[in-house]
Amino acid sequence: MKALKRTIAAVAGLAMMAGLAACGGDRTSSGATDEKIEEGATVGISMPTKSEERWNKDGNNLKANLEKKGYKVILSFADDKPAQQNADIENMVNNDAKIVVVAAKDGTAVGPAVEKARDAGAKVIAYDRLIMNTEAVDYYATFQLEQVGVLEANYIIDTLGLKDGEKGPFNIELFTGSPDDNNAKYFFKGAWELLQPYFESGVLVSPSNHGGGIDKDSTVDGNWQKISVMSWKTEQAQKDMESILDSTYSHGEKLDAVLSPYDGISQGVINAIQTKRPDMVPGTDTWPVITGQDAMEIAIKNISDGTQAQTVFKDVNKLATAVEEMIVEIAEGKEVSGINGEFNNDKIDVPSKLLDPVSITKDNLSDLVDAGYVTQEKFDQLTGK
Ligand code: BGC
């Protein structure tokens, strides 16, 4: 909490300095400028892939919001290929985009493309995933990243009764997201800080040698990429989980929990368990607690069926609104409001707007309908009503 307060104070300070600089007509990275963007200007939106549910929602929501406000929008999906994404961004700049919004496939590889955009005079907004190692990022909008891992880890801790003194030892296997996505590190950080003390006391153990093994001495920086799943792929997660089950759980050993940072990875884990350990039965003590993220349709079904226990919901409608507000303020030459944090991208501290993620389980699954994230009809279909 203290760190957050310090961050807010620092950002407020930055904003004030930016405000002063703006009086001199300077271009600043975090505050108002006297350069306005003409009405009906073009905004580029570069999404990493169409093959994951959320980026379609994200891209289309933002496009619809901006078009309602009178902007021209170029929306591209990069098929999980960094070179494609860089070409997409170049195309936006060639079409005179004044603002580019980028959810990076590879946070570092996209640097040169946004630098070109910046050189051409465009503002750059990192969307959900931070763009690394460049000065060419004006703002970042995302969800409280560590909080995602906190919600997942706390769900496991509560379900296994660790705070009530259950001693286990409980077997847990851990996965992180894509090694080229800076978010994946923060998700793990939030979770590991809560889980590590239970490794220390021996209540949690990770018996497989997945990614070289996880034990009490593991660290976020030292280990997160070793247990990662490239491009967050279901198939890769399934393969990895199958080898974990073959090596360590092939003689009826109990698996108590799997920390999964994304519903697609959870699906791979579920597929692997169903293939290799048909004696594990959802809804009974034999089935592990499996977490996730994104509240994908498949996760709604899995949570309803009891194969997945929890997911973390990030309301992308709210993120689209937050970014739309940013764009309008930038276009009007105003100071961007609602900045409540900053993230270092290994070059600069990027002023950030951070929204709150929410834990979803069977008990509050229908909140996804109330939030307008999924229709009642689709929800009923997924939950077999
Ligand atoms: C996003 C997550 C998403 C993951 C896989 C991350 O960068 O923050 O919401 O689950 O990518 O697409």
For residues 39 and 69, the answer to whether their CB atoms sit within 8 Å is no
364 belongs to a structural domain: no
What are the pLDDT digits (tens) for 272-319?
999 999 999 999 999 999 999 999 999 999 999 999 999 999 999 999
Q: For position 43, which CATH number holds?
A: 3.40.50.2300
* Domain match, 179 and 304 both: yes
Ligand 1 site, CB within 6 A:
52, 54, 128-129, 177, 181, 183, 232, 262, 293-294, 314
Extract the tokens encoding 238: 């399934």
Q: How many Å lie between the centroid of ligand 1 and the Cα of residue 345?
A: 18
372 belongs to a structural domain: no
* Domain match, 270 and 217 both: yes
Residue 298: Cβ-neighbour burial (10 angstroms; 0-12, 13-18, 19+)? buried
What are the pLDDT digits (tens) for 195-253?
999 999 999 999 999 999 999 999 999 999 999 999 999 999 999 999 999 999 999 99
* Domain match, 158 and 246 both: yes
* Domain match, 123 and 180 both: no
* Domain match, 298 and 190 both: yes
Report the DSSP beta bridge partners of residue 353: 141
* Domain match, 45 and 191 both: no
Q: How many Å lie between the centroid of ligand 1 and the Cα of residue 294?
A: 7
Distance, CA of 10 to CA of 348 (rounded, Å): 14
| Model confidence, pTM | 0.90
For residue 342, report the phi and psi dihedrals to the nearest 5 degrees: -150, 150
Distance, CA of 304 to CA of 180 (rounded, Å): 32
Q: How many Å lie between the centroid of ligand 1 and the Cα of residue 262?
A: 7
User: Which ranges of the chain does DSSP label H, i.e. alpha helix?
Assistant: 2-23, 53-68, 82-94, 111-119, 145-160, 182-200, 220-223, 234-248, 263-276, 297-305, 316-331, 367-370, 376-382
Range of the domain at 219: 145-313
Q: Which atom of ligand 1 is nearest to the CA of 52?
A: 12
